[in-house]
Structures are given as C-alpha cells and as structure tokens.
A and B are shown apart, each in its own frame.
Chain A
C-alpha cells in the first residue's frame, strides 16, 4: 500500500506583500482589497535571486530521512503545475539527481494534472514501486515552481502563487502515512486560459465547488470512512473563502482545514498539500491512526482528493 514515509517543505525567506505585486499583475486597489479581506491572501514567499534548483534543494535538504538511503531511491518524480520550467536542453531535475547522489534513479516530470499533479505523482510513485515489488525501494516526489510568468503568478479573481516547495519519500509498503484512497476527475470542458476567457472563468467558478466536493466525498467513501472520521483536511492554498464555502457545503468544520499557510505564502502550485502536511505535523495536529484528506484542484481542470492514515 502506497505510503508517505517522510515529507519536507521549504518556504523561501523573502515575503512579498500582495500590494507589491499589484502593478505587475495589473490588479487595482479594489482587487487587492478583495484578496486580503475575503480570500485571506496577504503575502507570498519568493526567492527573486534563486533558481528552480535552489527551490527544490531547499525542500530535499529538509528531508533528513533521505540521508544514507539514496541507494534505495528508484524513482524521482517532479510534479509540476506548469508544464514548462526551463528551455531545452537544460534539465534541473537530472542535475538535482546527480548532485544528490540519485543519478541511478529513473527521474521524470509529471504534469497534466496542473496543481493537482502532486497527488497524481504520489499515486504513480506508489504504483511503480508496487509493480516492481522490490523490498525497501523508495521514490522521491518533488513539487514547487518558480513564479516566472504572469500566468505563474496569478489565478484571476482567485489566488496568487508563491514559491514554496515540497519533497516526499514514497514507499509501496511503508507504515506511515498510508494512502487509503485516491479519487481524481478530469474536466476537460474547463480547458482554456481563464485570464482571457471571462465565460470560462464564470463557469469554472460556478461549478468548482460541486466538482471538488464530489472528489472529496468520493475519496472519503472509497476509504470506507465518513467525513466526520477525518481529523483534518489538508487543502490547496488557493484562498480561504473557497474553503469556507466548501466546509459549509459538505458539513465539515472550517477549523479542521489547515489554512495557516494561505496568508503566508499563497498557492504553491502542486506543493500545497505537502507544505500543509508539514504544518499539521509541526503543530502536532495528527496522532497515530488519524485519518486525513488531502485535496487539490488544477486549472484545465482536475479535481483530486486522497485519504491517508497517519
């Protein structure tokens, strides 16, 4: 059974108030105020001088469980929301593997589930390891991206991106945190650029709650649980207002959704759920045996949820 053996998160130390992004993102004072007041967004973490590699190293360096275990890593998966990171033939992922002593691992990037790709990558890693059947084998799943274009900085009327990163060690047979279920729905009818298609944006906003609720409840059901059995929901950090509405819709207490990082770093592409996992562990919110749900949505659109047992 797929398991998260260890999780590390990294947030660059530079905090940028969203007001400082207003000119570049063409946001007026009113839109900034809506972001602060209703969406709960305040700052984003950025590393203006840092590279993508610096960002990913930041997360992997926090993964103490990897030290001395590099030889067990069979796969390195990099989960990206934006499909393109660097111009060909640069390949930061392979450079990272060489530097970390993981040159023997099969390394590849996973995309196409946008900001829900982190969950997809964990699932793929577990499936690959299970198929191999090699005892003790591990996969390293990375997430986190640079905010290098306007599309990588802003989801119109919804969120602002930050540069947080995460690194997870996945195994096929670990004891913690065991993956109990995974439900993902692809909604290709939401394909397009929200920034230039007002009709698409309106339709996406209208149907978003129902679509995400469906996978959340589906994952809980597939895990053989009831919603009230969940100790926590680890959300994606798009904003607070959408989670407030979701909690009302599905009947889950808002104070059990780990939203601490929304005002601190905004939305970190595919890394949010794992950054929030780290926060939950740091705050000592999870006990052995607790079940929790991880949820994410990606533009394009993908809606995904996983249930784990700690």
Chain B
C-alpha cells in the first residue's frame, strides 16, 4: 500500500464543494444558505483559523480521505473555491 498525493481532481473537487456546503452549518453552529464558491471563509462566513481547521477534519471524515496539510497556506483558506482546490489537490489516497 503506497500513499500518494493525487493531482487536482474535478470529480473530487465537486464532492469537496458539496461537502463544505453540508458541513458549514455544523462547524458554524448556525444555518447557512447555499453559497457560491467565491464566498470568503473568514470575512463572509465568519470562520476562524481554528474553525477552518475543524472544517478540514470534518471533510476528511465525510469524504473518507486524508488531507496533506503540510503545505496549506492562508491563501488556500480564502474562499470555498480555494479550499476546494487545495483539498482536491492534497487528498492522500491509499492505492
């Protein structure tokens, strides 16, 4: 069994976007209407650094993936879209 980082994957990316939409109310502990990908996580949604990290853990469980977070950058946490880009490019799968 070898661990590899997969290339950005459009199918996975869409699942990440969908999952973020499902998980946001849980992480933010309030109702969240459907949001476009350009929605900014901190300024518009009110996520903190820590709640964004909680969201990453929730995504791992929901999508049954492991995310390589070593390289994560503040820019990756800018919006729903940039987070989905990062997660889909840094999902570690067992092959």
Given A33-B57, A38-B69, A248-B73, the answer on whether A202 and B50 have CB atoms closer than 8 Å is no
B49 and A157 contacting across the interface, CB-CB below 8 Å: yes
| Interface hits, A145-189 → B, CB 8 Å | 156-158
Does A25 count as interface, using CB distance less than 8 angstroms?
Answer: no
A34 and B73 contacting across the interface, CB-CB below 8 Å: no
Residues of A within 8 A of B (CB): 30-31, 33-34, 37-38, 156-158, 198, 201-202, 205-206, 209, 241, 244-245, 248-249
A38 and B53 contacting across the interface, CB-CB below 8 Å: yes
User: Which residues of A are found within 8 Å of B46, using beta-carbon distances?
Assistant: 202
Chain B 24-65: CB-based contact to A (< 8 A → 1; otherwise 0): 000000000000000000100010111101101110000000
> Number of B interface residues, CB 8 Å?
15
Of A37, A205, A209, A244, the contact of B57 (CB 8 Å cutoff): A37
User: Which residues of B are found within 8 Å of A156, using beta-carbon distances?
Assistant: 50
* A-B residue pairs, 4 tightest by C-beta: A157-B50, A205-B49, A34-B53, A38-B53
Does B94 count as interface, using CB distance less than 8 angstroms?
Answer: no
Rounded to whole angstroms, the CA-CA distance of A241 and B48 in the bound complex is: 14
Residues of B within 8 A of A (CB): 42, 46, 48-51, 53-54, 56-58, 69-70, 73-74
B48 and A201 contacting across the interface, CB-CB below 8 Å: yes
> In the complex, how many angstroms separate the beta carbon of A193 from the nearest chain B beta carbon?
16
Task: Provide a sorted-by-A list of 5 A–B residue pairs whose CB atoms are within 8 angstroms.
Answer: A31-B50, A38-B53, A38-B56, A157-B51, A249-B74
Given A31-B50, A34-B54, A202-B46, the answer on whether A245 and B69 have CB atoms closer than 8 Å is no
Given A30-B57, A34-B53, A34-B54, the answer on whether A157 and B48 have CB atoms closer than 8 Å is yes
In this complex, the member of A30, A205, A206 whose beta carbon has the largest number of chain B beta carbons within 10 angstroms is A30
> In the complex, how many angstroms separate the beta carbon of B35 from the nearest chain A beta carbon?
18
